[in-house]
A and B are shown apart, each in its own frame.
Chain A
Amino acid sequence: MESREKTLLRFTTTGSVDDGKSTLIGRLLYETKSIFEDQYAAIEKTSKRKGYDEVDLALLLDGLSAEREQGITIDVAYRYFESPKRKFIIADTPGHVQYTRNMITGASTADLAIILIDAENGVLTQSRRHGIINSLLQIPHLIVAVNKMDLVDYSECVYKNIVSSYEKFSEKLDIHDIVFIPVSALKGDNVAKKSDNMPWYDGATLLHYLETVHVTANRNLLDFRFPIQYVIRPNHGFRGFAGRITSGTISPGEEIVVLPSGKTTTVKSIVTHDGELSEAFPPQSVVLTLNDEIDISRGDMIVRKNNLPQVSNHFEAIICWMDEQAMSNGNSYILKHTTNNVKAFIPRVVYKIDVNTLHREKTDALALNDIARVEIKTASPVLFDTYRVNRGTGSFILIDPLTNNTVAAGMIRGVSRTIDDVIEGAKDKSVTQKKSPHTIWSGWNISREVRELRNSHKAAVLWLTGYSGSGKSTIARNIEKALFEAGCQTMLLDGDNIRHGLCGDLGFSDKDRSENIRRVGEMARLFFESGSIVICTFISPFEKDRATVRSLFPTDRFFEVHVKCDLEVCKRRDPNGLYKKALSGEIKEFTGISSPYEEPRNPEIVVETDLQSAEDIVARIVDTLKKERYF
């Protein structure tokens, strides 16, 4: 019988006061008779005092005195109303960019979002931003309410233009259901009653759509996840595990596994105050008892044996920074995820997202309201699913342990992949980034392992990167000699030589530099697979190019050697007179002078040619290889 009762829809509204957002909500409350006489009397009084002609329904919503004074919405306000069909909870959020964190807070629990666009102004940057944020939060349904239609004479043309312009933009977003409705919140057109002023619109009213949109379809009923909140032990005879079902369903008798311990057993009963249940589903709060005594505590998770979450202490997530104090790479934070608290830090910001354009920016710092993709490392493994498939096990907050503030909200994208995973992935698909059409990778005729066996040494790649004149070539030549004398099969690939042949068609633009390195990487790969120790000496100034090369080789076979030298020393050395030409402008795009050099972040070896002698450096590198049993 229960299911025939009213259902619940939680939705969020974004837009600024100028768009008429508060007026729209006020209108919804008014039309569903959710405004009390005394509340109405209070805002009527205030409206009169301010000299308005009509009662400002928006005054109902701004709860803090500062907001009423300034006529803006600062924080999320929750509103409640019901129609004969549904109960509604509105998270009403401010629309300005400085309140992005409040928008995200409101969106975090919503099944639907309403974005307001002022018909007079059309699609603004902020309308796009609201779409982007709702898409990041994976809100399944989006209503774009084109408001203030009364001010544009209820023009179909104006409306159509806004719709087509927003549709063009929203193609890029991850939102599956998007509906447009022309309204006038002030006059009430198409809010609860169909408007006579817009006969050209044959869609539903806003309220009708809110009442009928199918939201339960968005729940995850497949993956059973039950994070333990609390262990209930009233006496020796009873031991139950209390929690709320995040996703999936469970029945007594079903086999389960407890994570992270991995112990398995079956469900004995599902206990509630209202009696035992034969099946439980989200979002029920229940108590599970099990058929075997297993040590389980808060933070553990009960799941099905053949449907496990991911387990990792290194993953990537989209986070929104919510604290006045900027993010710092060095800081450790407390990550609260399901019912678990773990220590975490952010080793890397992958990129920051410009919330107005979706463009990605490189940065190391995150300030209030910034949204970024980051890597997260935790002190112990976290049991998660991606946010896309499971909001409950894919979301987390970060807490600063010094201030105890909630400093960020995060949505997990997946395990952070290591180079080995990338190689495995590439092998699986038998493709790399670019491949010629109609070619099939057939594997090596004679494997590297067999060749290594005959050579009696391992294949490896030494990649020397650094400024022109830093001494890369000198070191490389001496290393090769030493290895060759020790009986190794070697090959030296030198920047200048390659540019005389294989890469003779390339210049020094960023694009050509990347292509140069790509070709060299592929060539090094061929020598590597033939069992050689390949020594490559290239300025290779760009991090992403070096990363591409690195991804071609197994982790323990690739050595990035940063040949460091003070730029002033390089200039003085200037073995081929190139700096002189670069400084005079004769050579354009010269690394260190007119083109940047991105220092390696985590090179395997760093040498400093302005401080150490070439002999020492060569001996050290050869020694390292010997100790690690490469030859």
Chain B
Amino acid sequence: MNSYTLSYLKQLESESIHIIREVVAEFKNPVMLYSVGKDSSVMLRLAQKAFYPGKFPFPLMHIDTGYKFPEMYEFRDRFCEEIGAKLIVEHNEEWITKECHPLKLGTDKCCGYLKTQGLLDAIKKHEFDAAFGGARREEEKSRAKERVFSLRDEFGQWDPKNQRPELWDLYNARLNEGQSVRVFPLSNWTEVDIWQYIKLEDIPVVPIYFAREREVIRRNGLLIPVSSFSTVENDAKANFSHEETETVMCRFRSLGCIPCTGAIKSEATSFDDIITEVISARKSERENRVIDLGSDSAMEDKKKEGYF
């Protein structure tokens, strides 16, 4: 009857739970980075499972750039309240008041100030020694090399050539003064796994992941919803002609800041549709993200500076 075989998803689940528990057992002050996206949603479910029937013993933290989609803020607040999680929201106030925008500074600098610096300041402020993140190795080629426990120096920098060896399921949780770790419990998950797990577990996600008809404008191969056009253009009075707009069945494959995230053409309105779409996808999931398109080593460069 029982073949003692775990499905692939259940094996991944067990591995992630093991990682999350190790962090809580060995660090003083962990936090879970919550970006409101699908990966965060899965990570949160795993945290709930790891400590069931208790609650997970750490807060969530959202580094808010102020540029997220309204649906994301609405979802974030409602969801965290529902599950009774403690949510910390941090901003890099200084640069938000300076009206940091990719069109003004370039995507690299904008990301650097609002996300990277915002995160580093928040970690310092709350004295977190470990921060969970939902990054996956499959996403991008420098992430493929990153450890589950990714050591960062006091400036949050990743040194790819000097990573600690990581063997079996034995994680080295010891830190020197000023160091912290980013922990990636979803390291071995793929985009397909995430969606299959969301379906299996019926995990709530932000509705803009699903396709519906949206009024959009095409810019540099990306579809920009009319509603966020002024934010993308960084101009409250930005003009566009009606000939430019079209109504397209589309969805967001990954979620980021409005100025840097486009929609993709899609008919996927259910979990099953999304899974089918992702399996047959001919483009990687970050195709709609402007920040990765900079150069061949764009992500590696960002990570060296402390980006997640």
Contacts and interface: CB of A to CB of B under 8 A. Distances in A.
Given A7-B5, A39-B284, A216-B5, A285 B145 contact: no
B281 A229 contact: no
In order of increasing CB-CB distance, the 7 nearest A-B pairs are A234-B54, A63-B141, A36-B284, A285-B17, A273-B49, A5-B7, A108-B167
Contacts of A281: 2, 4
Interface stretch (B29-37, B61-69, B170-178): B170-178
Contacts of B283: 36-38
Nearest to A284: B14
Contacts of A298: 25
B141 A60 contact: yes
Counting chain A CB atoms within 10 Å of each CB, which of B22, B50, B141 scores highest? B141
Interface string A270-298: 01111000010111110100000000001
A271 B25 contact: no
A38 B24 CA distance: 38
A78 B163 CA distance: 15
A87 B165 contact: no
16 contacts: A2-B6, A3-B7, A6-B7, A6-B8, A87-B8, A216-B4, A238-B54, A240-B53, A281-B4, A284-B6, A284-B14, A285-B21, A339-B25, A392-B169, A395-B167, A395-B168
Contacts of A274: 49
A36 B138 CA distance: 12
A532 B169 CA distance: 56
Nearest to B285: A36
B2 A46 contact: no
A272 B170 contact: no
Interface in B195-217: none
A151 to B, nearest CB: 28
A104 B6 contact: no
B284 A334 contact: no
Contacts of B48: 273
Given A75-B160, A249-B4, A284-B6, A101 B174 contact: no
B297 interface: yes
Contacts of B49: 272-274, 285
Interface in A207-247: 216, 219, 221, 229-230, 232-234, 238, 240, 242-244
Contacts of B3: 3, 216
A612 interface: no
A2 B174 CA distance: 38
Contacts of A520: none
Interface in B71-100: none
Interface string B286-308: 01000000001100100000000
A323 to B, nearest CB: 9
Contacts of A325: none
A229 B166 CA distance: 18
B142 A64 contact: yes
A77 interface: yes
Interface string B135-151: 00110011111000000
A224 to B, nearest CB: 13
Interface stretch (A396-404, A433-441, A459-467, A482-490): A396-404
Contacts of A39: 284
Contacts of A233: 54
A39 B287 CA distance: 9
Contacts of B179: 404
A142 B149 CA distance: 29
Counting chain B CB atoms within 10 Å of each CB, which of A5, A272, A337 scores highest? A5
Contacts of A339: 22, 25
Contacts of A329: none
B188 interface: yes
A592 B190 CA distance: 67
A229 B187 contact: no
B282 interface: yes
Contacts of A105: 165-167
B231 to A, nearest CB: 25
A65 B297 contact: yes
B165 A409 contact: yes
